[in-house]
Structure 1
Amino acid sequence: MIVNNSYGIFLFYFCSIIQLIIPFVFGTNNYVKMYPKLGENVTLKCGNDYTKKADVSWKMNHKELPGRVSILTNGDLFITNVEKSDSGTYVCDLGTANTYADHVPLNEIELKVISVPSPLVGVKVIPYTVLIHILWKPVEDDGGFPISNVTIRIKEINNSDDKWITVYSNISSLQKEIYHLQFNTLYIVEMWVANIVGNSEKTVVITKTLSELSEIDLEKHLMEGIDKFHTKAWIFAVVVIMTTFSIFGIAFCYLLLKDPRTNKRLDDVEDVERIELIPNITLNPGYCET
């Protein structure tokens, strides 16, 4: 019984020592990716339950760690209010393992801080009577994560019904048209982009659709600038047009007069050939036209 107890205690201590030695010599070969949001507190696990603060060392891309980090008593790394500059690869290892060649660290963590994308820039709204054409430039900063789409909202400013028209557009199209609007009406346009973190800051534009032209306005629009039109230009245009039509008319008449004469000459030639052919057939029945 005593032998069995001693054997069990020995086996327990042996396994514990092995668990300490294996990570010390060979490492754990763990690789983790983390995507914390900007301003969050982050804890990076070292990956070994038997380590302590004094036993581990942390490195970031083979550089010094940021000043806002602290190593906890269990060896984990704690970062407060992460910033974009904190992105990188963090390596945790035993402090005495640097002397081993080809040593695999206890844990490697790729940290990429993400945030909401930057707002849209270069937004331009071109109004028409019953539609508006919206243009924008590519987003300068996607926040470290792909942008899903562009959200556009529009509504009448003087309308008491708080009813928005919402449309979506692909971020790469850089333009969008919105139809079925009222003419001569004030509209407010809101635009933003979003990724997995959230929405960017809104871009707000106020525009007014154009008025519907009446018949009098159309007449004024068509006659606009008529007083500045020079009569000599009008006379020159008429002369050019009449000359062109005259040339086409003369050419057409010439073709009509020439065609009957040509047909008459062809008919005369065929008659002569028929007259010459009759005596040859009469005198020589075996004659064949070749």
Structure 2
Amino acid sequence: MIGHKISLLILFLTVWQESVSTVQFFNVAVDIGQNLTLLCDADWGRSRESVGVMWVREGREDGQIKRLKVEPNGALELVNVSSEDAGNYSCTFDNDAEAAKTQINVEVRTPPPALHNVWVKPSTILANILWEVAGTGGYPIIDFTAEYRLKTGPGEEPEDWMPIVPTHIPPNSRQIDVYHLLPNTTYSFRVWATNQLGRGEIVEVENHTQHSIEELELARHFLAGVETFDTRVWVAAVGIVMGTLMILGLGTCYLLYRECKAPSQLEEQEVIELVPNIILNPGFFDERTEHMSDDENCNHQTTTYLNNNCVVQPRRL
């Protein structure tokens, strides 16, 4: 009994090994937008043209039927390949439908997919953009590109995107810094990857820069203890300041008044000093004295008084 079961098991493994050995596995890669032809068996098209072929795809979509075409020789043609055409394809013969003869894994190469976990860490005048790579699209990533612009309000025309230096970010980078931003301002940021097929999907995010540190510290200083502040103290302080200003104003007016009165007092003092000089020195001459009328000699000069009261008459030659 045991020997009979062992014999059946050996027979089953032999049949399974023969069926597996007849299956051919292939991996095929194609660029998006191109056409692709899948062959069921390289030798079958020449020797067994009369035998029908059936193609099966795992997870087939209804929209794919329009782009599929089976050639007379049993080859499967995919027209204008898209990313949805990627997957496993298998073919069988009509006379042996239970045994797959060929299995082909189709990989569609595309531009890079959208970056993953894109977020912005803002500061006051700069921001740090970070991202993760979800895939390359089948070709190595050449570089990344990031841009930013000021967010406008509803109904306003959006501003142009500003490039972030360097414009070609190395493919091994996962972050980039943005400088010369305005504090307390909302910005839009976008970033994408590029391979040899072109630019990938763009991911756009928004964030708000922080307030200026100086402004926050100044406001915190001014508002310190505002909850426990007594308004009567404020009124008293205002009264003291206004009284001081009033005293300063009165003092300024008094000084201006004294400065205006000083010249007149000085003039009176000079007149008082002038009288003794005239009495003690009769010959004292002052330009403010009157000139004499012309004498018989037509002399209009004033007479000169000497200290001995002698009069010297001017003569006209």
TM-score (norm 2): 0.43
Q: Which has the higher contact order (CA 8 A, sep 6+)?
A: 1
- Larger Cα-atom Rg: 2
TM-score (norm 1): 0.46
